[in-house]
Chains A and B, each alone.
Chain A
Amino acid sequence: MTQLRDYARVIRSKNSGPFELTFDILFDNLEDYEHFVASKVLTKESFAKLYQIKVSDIITFEYVKPARGIKITIPRPWSQGSVGESDMHGSQQYANLLTLEIPEK
Chain B
Amino acid sequence: MEELRVLVPNGMLGYGFPLEDFERGIKRQPHGIVVDAGSTDSGPQKLALGEMTCPESAYYRELATMIPAAKEAGIPLIISSAGGDGTNEHVDLFVEMAEQIANEQELSLQVAKIYSDIPKNQIDSALQSDKITEMQNVPQLTQEEVEQATVVTAQMGAEPYLALLEANNQPDVIIGGRTYDPAPTAALGMYYGFDPALAWHMGKIIECGAICCVPAEKTVLGTLRQDHFLIEPMSPHSKAMPHTVAAHTMYEKSSAFNLPGPGGTLNLENCEFKAENDRVTRVSGSRFIKDENYTVKLEGAKVVGYRSITVMGVRDPILIDQVDEALAYVREQTKKELPEEYAQSQIIFHPYGKNATMKNLESLADEVGHEMCVIAEVASPTQEMAQLVVNRIRTTLLHYGYPGRVATSGNIGMPFTPLEIPLGKVCQFNVYHLLQIEDPIKQFPATVQEVGK
Interface residues of chain A, those whose CB is within 8 Å of chain B, are 10, 14-20, 22, 24, 26, 50-53, 59-60, 62, 64, 66-69, 71, 73, 75-89, 92-93, 95-96
Q: Determine whether B41 belongs to the interface, using a CB cutoff of 8 Å to chain A.
A: yes
User: Which residues of A are found within 8 Å of B249, using beta-carbon distances?
Assistant: 67
Are the CB atoms of A83 and B346 closer together than 8 Å?
yes
Q: Determine whether B253 belongs to the interface, using a CB cutoff of 8 Å to chain A.
A: yes
Q: In the complex, which residue of chain A has the Cβ closest to the Cβ of B297?
A: A17
Q: Determine whether B368 belongs to the interface, using a CB cutoff of 8 Å to chain A.
A: no
User: How long is the Cα–Cα vector from A10 to B243 in the complex, in angstroms?
Assistant: 12
Are the CB atoms of A86 and B350 closer together than 8 Å?
yes
Of the stretches B22-30, B52-60, B131-139, B143-151, the one at the interface is B131-139
Q: How far is the CB of A81 from chain B (nearest CB, A)?
A: 3
With A82-B44, A83-B377 as given contacts, are A62 and B359 in contact (CB-CB < 8 Å)? no
User: Which residues of A are found within 8 Å of B271, using beta-carbon distances?
Assistant: 66
User: How long is the Cα–Cα vector from A77 to B250 in the complex, in angstroms?
Assistant: 21
Are the CB atoms of A22 and B252 closer together than 8 Å?
yes
Are the CB atoms of B43 and A81 closer together than 8 Å?
yes
Q: Determine whether B348 belongs to the interface, using a CB cutoff of 8 Å to chain A.
A: yes
User: Which residues of A are found within 8 Å of B304, using beta-carbon distances?
Assistant: 82-83
Are the CB atoms of B254 and A60 closer together than 8 Å?
yes
Are the CB atoms of B247 and A67 closer together than 8 Å?
yes
Count of interface residues, chain B, beta-carbon cutoff 8 Å? 48
CB-contact partner of B43 in A19, A26, A53, A85, under 8 A:
A85
Are the CB atoms of B137 and A89 closer together than 8 Å?
no
Q: Which of B250, B256, B363 has the most CB of A within 10 A?
A: B250
Are the CB atoms of B428 and A19 closer together than 8 Å?
no
Are the CB atoms of A64 and B429 closer together than 8 Å?
no
User: How long is the Cα–Cα vector from A77 to B360 in the complex, in angstroms?
Assistant: 8
User: Which residues of B are found within 8 Å of A79, using beta-carbon distances?
Assistant: 428-429
Q: Which of A51, A85, A86, A96 has the most CB of B within 10 A?
A: A86
| A to B contact number (C-beta, < 8 Å) | 141
User: How long is the Cα–Cα vector from A104 to B74 in the complex, in angstroms?
Assistant: 58
Q: In the complex, which residue of chain A has the Cβ closest to the Cβ of B255?
A: A60
Are the CB atoms of B358 and A92 closer together than 8 Å?
yes
Are the CB atoms of B242 and A83 closer together than 8 Å?
no
**Contact pattern, B 251-270, Cβ under 8 Å of A = 1, otherwise 0:** 11111110000000000000
Q: How far is the CB of B158 from chain A (nearest CB, A)?
A: 20
Are the CB atoms of A20 and B348 closer together than 8 Å?
no
User: Which residues of A are found within 8 Å of B247, using beta-carbon distances?
Assistant: 10, 24, 26, 64, 67-69
**Contact pattern, B 153-175, Cβ under 8 Å of A = 1, otherwise 0:** 00000000000000000000000
Interface residues of chain B, those whose CB is within 8 Å of chain A, are 40-45, 135-138, 242-243, 246-247, 249-257, 271-273, 304-305, 307, 346, 348, 350, 356-364, 377, 379, 426-429, 432
With A14-B251, A17-B432, A67-B256 as given contacts, are A52 and B363 in contact (CB-CB < 8 Å)? yes
Q: Which of B247, B252, B257, B377 has the most CB of A within 10 A?
A: B247
User: Which residues of A are found within 8 Å of B137, using beta-carbon distances?
Assistant: 19-20, 75-76
Q: How far is the CB of B266 from chain A (nearest CB, A)?
A: 15
CB-contact partner of B428 in A60, A67, A82, A95, under 8 A:
A82
User: How long is the Cα–Cα vector from A83 to B302 in the complex, in angstroms?
Assistant: 12
Are the CB atoms of A51 and B363 closer together than 8 Å?
yes
Are the CB atoms of A51 and B43 closer together than 8 Å?
no
User: Which residues of B are found within 8 Å of A86, using beta-carbon distances?
Assistant: 350, 356-359
Minimum-distance CB pairs A-B, first 9: A81-B43, A67-B246, A84-B348, A66-B246, A75-B137, A67-B247, A82-B428, A96-B363, A64-B256
Are the CB atoms of B252 and A81 closer together than 8 Å?
no
Q: How far is the CB of B36 from chain A (nearest CB, A)?
A: 16
Q: How far is the CB of B195 from chain A (nearest CB, A)?
A: 19
Are the CB atoms of B426 and A71 closer together than 8 Å?
no
User: Which residues of B are found within 8 Å of A16, using beta-carbon distances?
Assistant: 252-254
**17 more A-B residue pairs beyond the given contacts A18-B432, A64-B247, A85-B43, with a C-beta to C-beta distance below 8 A:** A19-B429, A22-B254, A24-B251, A53-B361, A62-B255, A66-B272, A67-B247, A68-B246, A69-B250, A75-B136, A76-B137, A80-B43, A81-B429, A82-B44, A82-B304, A86-B356, A87-B358
User: Which residues of A are found within 8 Å of B242, using beta-carbon distances?
Assistant: 66
CB-contact partner of B361 in A19, A59, A64, A77, under 8 A:
A77
CB-contact partner of A71 in B243, B255, B427, under 8 A:
B255
Are the CB atoms of A62 and B252 closer together than 8 Å?
no
Are the CB atoms of A19 and B432 closer together than 8 Å?
yes
User: Which residues of A are found within 8 Å of B427, using beta-carbon distances?
Assistant: 81-82
A-B contact pairs, 19 of them (CB 8 A): A17-B40, A18-B432, A20-B254, A22-B252, A24-B247, A26-B243, A50-B363, A51-B361, A67-B247, A75-B137, A77-B359, A77-B360, A80-B44, A81-B42, A83-B377, A83-B379, A84-B377, A96-B363, A96-B364
